[in-house]
């Protein structure tokens, strides 16, 4: 960078900090975002359509059907101490609240970088969802948070068949953004990164998509994955609040009090060897999964909505004993009450160095106990479907409780220890 460019940079930054005092939440090194809470029309920025809302006991994006587009962004926190980390959470939360609640970006002096990147016509898309979670590494010795670590949160270990790439795994924070269009997610990501650039460094990024059912039913099939099978069929009903309280949301159980309303998030970026899959016979594919490819019905039935039956098939003549769904959930007393809420996305990352398609499933599951996910993984270890899969990234995270009142922000309960 030339020295004049450097000077320009620091001048405009100073000038900006002066202006930012009017309304903008401008804190320390993270001020570059300068998103102001506009009190009137926002000086030229079109009033944004009202968002789905930011506030709630739980964050958005867990129970909801996955949107057509997603972005998984994992960050490393470079805050030097606990105080700055607390500020980063306040800034990040405020930015997300602005984006999700349709708060217009401030009109700043044109000599300054605009508060919004302008990628969208409308500043906020009503379909935007954001889910912020923390990884085990945030509880190391940097911020004195070790005693607050959710009881079961660990760095994702080698699970089954893994080839984890450190450049695509783990992270202090994970932000899952979802929207109806890809640019909705990119817009939000850039706003968040601009606001927190001095404190959060992007560690990995995975874009993702789903093709929602034409006739979605809550808790039921969301789309087909890239193996061509319906994905999400056997999910528990996300519209059943009592069920979700048991299966998904954390409360009590020896967990730190601040975690109430959060949930464990398991992310597995699993590459699919799709060329090999496309050469496997249909009967074999169906036997590997345990369902009919077209209808999504279990091999023991004819309709997708039917529950698989294994009690009258002890030798696996209809549904092989090692079919994915039979291992994942044998539907006996051992797994009752441990069902996972799966909210995965497909991804496509072009081709690898050998000219093979780099596609797969960004598997995401939410559960009140990480042990439920680990038990399912144990049951699936060595499944024949593994021949077509290669887990390459992801991590374990804990989704922060939602924000319900004025003055509260994402991460507040974690930092204060108070629910
Ligand atoms: C690329 C990786 C994976 C693929 C392609 C895949 C595919 C599928 C498909 C097609 C179904 C049947 C439809 C449905 O109920 O959603 C299914 C069900 C299921 N999968 Fe996976 N899956 C993958 C990874 C995983 C992982 C990592 C876990 C958990 C450790 C898991 C756990 C389950 C469970 C619990 C069910 C429901 C079983 C039932 O209740 O009948 N899957 N999966």
Question: Which phi and psi angles does 196 have, rounded to 5°?
Answer: -115, 20
Longest dimension (CA), the chain: 79
Using one digit for the tens of pLDDT, what is the confidence trace for 241-265? 999 999 999 988 899 999 999 999 9
Q: For ligand 1, say whether the CB of 123 is within 6 Å of any of its atoms.
A: no
Q: What is the pLDDT of residue 52?
A: 55
Provide the 3-class DSSP secondary structure of residue 126.
Answer: coil
pLDDT of residue 21 exceeding 80, the answer is no
- CB-CB neighbours of 64 under 10 Å: 15
Q: Whose CA is nearest to atom 12 of ligand 1?
A: 231
CA separation (Å) from 48 to 44, 45, 70, 179, 247? 11, 8, 21, 15, 36
Instruction: Give dist(CA 104, CA 414) in Å, integer.
Output: 29
Q: What is the pLDDT of residue 1?
A: 35
Q: For ligand 1, say whether the CB of 324 is within 6 Å of any of its atoms.
A: yes
| Mean pLDDT of the region 355-381 | 98
Q: For ligand 1, say whether the CB of 189 is within 6 Å of any of its atoms.
A: no
Question: Quick one: pLDDT band at residue 31, thresholds 50, 70, 90?
Answer: very low
pTM for the model stands at: 0.88
Using one digit for the tens of pLDDT, what is the confidence trace for 199-235? 999 999 999 999 866 665 544 566 899 999 999 999 9
* Spans of all domains in the chain: 7-37+54-416
How does 201-237 read in b/e, with b if 16+ C-beta sit within 10 Å?
Answer: eebbebbbbbeeeeeeeebbbbbbbbbebbbbbbbbe
Burial class (CB in 10 A: 0-12, 13-18, 19+), 182: middle
Q: For ligand 1, say whether the CB of 270 is within 6 Å of any of its atoms.
A: yes
Q: What is the pLDDT of residue 231?
A: 93
Using one digit for the tens of pLDDT, what is the confidence trace for 323-350? 999 999 999 999 999 999 999 999 999 9
Which residues 6+ apart lie within 8 Å of 361 measured at CB? 225, 226, 231, 268, 269, 270, 272, 344, 345, 346, 347
Q: What is the pLDDT of residue 214?
A: 61
The gap between the terminal CA atoms of the chain, to the nearest Å, is 47
Ligand 1 pocket test, candidate residues 208, 234, 306, 338, most atoms within 8 A of CB: 234
Instruction: Give dist(CA 173, CA 348) in Å, integer.
Output: 23
How does 279-315 read in b/e, with b if 16+ C-beta sit within 10 Å?
Answer: ebeeeebbbbbbbbbeebbbbbbeebeeebebeebee
Q: Whose CA is nearest to atom 17 of ligand 1?
A: 325
Q: What is the pLDDT of residue 53?
A: 80
Instruction: Give dist(CA 344, CA 400) in Å, integer.
Output: 19
How does 115-139 read in b/e, with b if 16+ C-beta sit within 10 Å?
Answer: bbbeebeebbbbbbbbbbbbbbbbb
Give the sign of the dihedral formed by CA 348, CA 351, CA 353, CA 356.
positive
pLDDT higher at 115 or 274? 274
pLDDT of residue 59 exceeding 70, the answer is yes
Report the atom number in ligand 1 closest to the C-alpha of 234: 15
Q: Whose CA is nearest to atom 31 of ligand 1?
A: 328
Q: For ligand 1, say whether the CB of 130 is within 6 Å of any of its atoms.
A: no
| Mean pLDDT of the region 375-390 | 97
Q: What is the pLDDT of residue 215?
A: 60
pLDDT higher at 80 or 119? 80
pLDDT of residue 385 exceeding 60, the answer is yes
Q: What is the pairing mode between strands 357-367 and 341-342?
A: antiparallel
Q: What is the pLDDT of residue 142?
A: 97
Using one digit for the tens of pLDDT, what is the confidence trace for 289-299? 999 999 999 99
User: How many angstroms is it from 20 CA to the middle of ligand 1?
Assistant: 49
Q: How remote is the C-alpha of 315 from its chain's centroid?
A: 38
Q: What is the pLDDT of residue 330?
A: 97
Instruction: Give dist(CA 100, CA 85) in Å, integer.
Output: 22
Q: What is the pLDDT of residue 105?
A: 87
| Mean pLDDT of the region 76-100 | 97
326: left (phi over 0), alpha (psi -120 to 50) or beta: alpha
pLDDT of residue 164 exceeding 80, the answer is yes
Report the atom number in ligand 1 closest to the C-alpha of 226: 5
Q: What is the pLDDT of residue 252?
A: 84
From start to end of 36-172, where are the E strands? Answer: 69-77, 129-135
Q: What is the pLDDT of residue 217?
A: 54
Report the atom number in ligand 1 closest to the C-alpha of 389: 1
Question: Quick one: pLDDT band at residue 415, thresholds 50, 70, 90?
Answer: very high
Q: For ligand 1, say whether the CB of 225 is within 6 Å of any of its atoms.
A: yes
Report the atom number in ligand 1 closest to the C-alpha of 296: 13
pLDDT of residue 182 exceeding 80, the answer is yes
Q: Whose CA is nearest to atom 30 of ligand 1?
A: 377
User: How many angstroms is it from 352 CA to the middle of ligand 1?
Assistant: 25
pLDDT higher at 363 or 21? 363
Q: What is the pLDDT of residue 17?
A: 32
Whole-number average pLDDT of the chain: 86
User: How many angstroms is it from 105 CA to the middle of ligand 1?
Assistant: 41
| Mean pLDDT of the region 258-275 | 98
pLDDT higher at 270 or 124? 270
Provide the 3-class DSSP secondary structure of residue 13.
Answer: helix
Using one digit for the tens of pLDDT, what is the confidence trace for 107-144? 999 999 999 998 887 655 568 999 999 999 999 999 99
Number of H helices, E strands in the chain: 9, 11
């Amino acid at each position: 960078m030339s020295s004049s460019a450097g000077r320009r940079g620091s001048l405009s930054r100073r000038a900006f900090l002066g202006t930012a005092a009017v309304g903008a939440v401008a804190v320390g090194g993270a001020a570059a975002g300068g998103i102001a809470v506009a009190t009137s029309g926002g000086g030229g920025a079109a009033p944004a359509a009202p968002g789905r809302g930011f506030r709630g006991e739980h964050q958005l994006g867990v129970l909801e059907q996955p949107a057509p587009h997603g972005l998984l962004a994992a960050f490393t926190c470079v805050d030097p101490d606990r105080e700055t980390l607390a500020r980063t959470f306040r800034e990040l939360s405020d930015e997300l609240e602005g984006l999700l609640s349709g708060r217009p970006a401030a009109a700043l002096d044109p000599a300054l970088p605009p508060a919004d990147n302008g990628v969208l016509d409308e500043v906020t898309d009503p379909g935007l969802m954001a889910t912020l979670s923390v990884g085990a590494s945030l509880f190391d010795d940097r911020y004195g948070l070790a005693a607050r670590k959710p009881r079961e949160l660990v760095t994702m270990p080698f699970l089954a068949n893994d080839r984890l790439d450190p450049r695509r795994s783990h992270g202090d924070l994970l932000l899952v953004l979802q929207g109806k269009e890809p640019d909705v997610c990119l817009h939000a990501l850039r706003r968040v990164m601009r606001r927190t650039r001095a404190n959060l460094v992007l560690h990995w990024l995975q874009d993702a998509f789903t093709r929602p059912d034409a006739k979605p039913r809550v808790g039921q099939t969301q789309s087909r994955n890239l193996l061509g099978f319906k994905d999400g069929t056997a999910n528990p009903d996300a519209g059943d609040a009592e069920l979700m309280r048991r299966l998904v949301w954390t409360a009590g159980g020896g967990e730190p009090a601040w975690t109430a309303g959060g949930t464990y998030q398991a992310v597995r970026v699993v590459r699919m060897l799709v060329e090999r899959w496309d050469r496997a016979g249909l009967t074999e594919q169906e036997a590997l999964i345990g369902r009919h490819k077209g209808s999504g019905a279990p091999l023991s039935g004819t309709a997708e909505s039917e529950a698989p039956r294994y009690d009258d098939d002890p030798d696996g003549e209809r549904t092989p004993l090692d079919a994915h769904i039979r291992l994942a959930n044998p539907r006996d007393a051992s797994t009752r009450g441990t069902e996972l809420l799966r909210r995965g996305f497909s991804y496509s990352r072009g081709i690898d160095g050998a000219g093979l398609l780099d596609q797969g499933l960004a598997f995401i599951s939410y559960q009140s106990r990480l042990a439920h996910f680990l038990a399912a993984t144990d049951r699936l270890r060595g499944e024949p479907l593994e021949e077509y899969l290669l887990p390459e990234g992801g991590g374990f995270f804990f989704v922060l409780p939602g924000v319900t009142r004025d003055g509260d922000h994402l991460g507040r309960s974690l930092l204060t220890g108070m629910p």
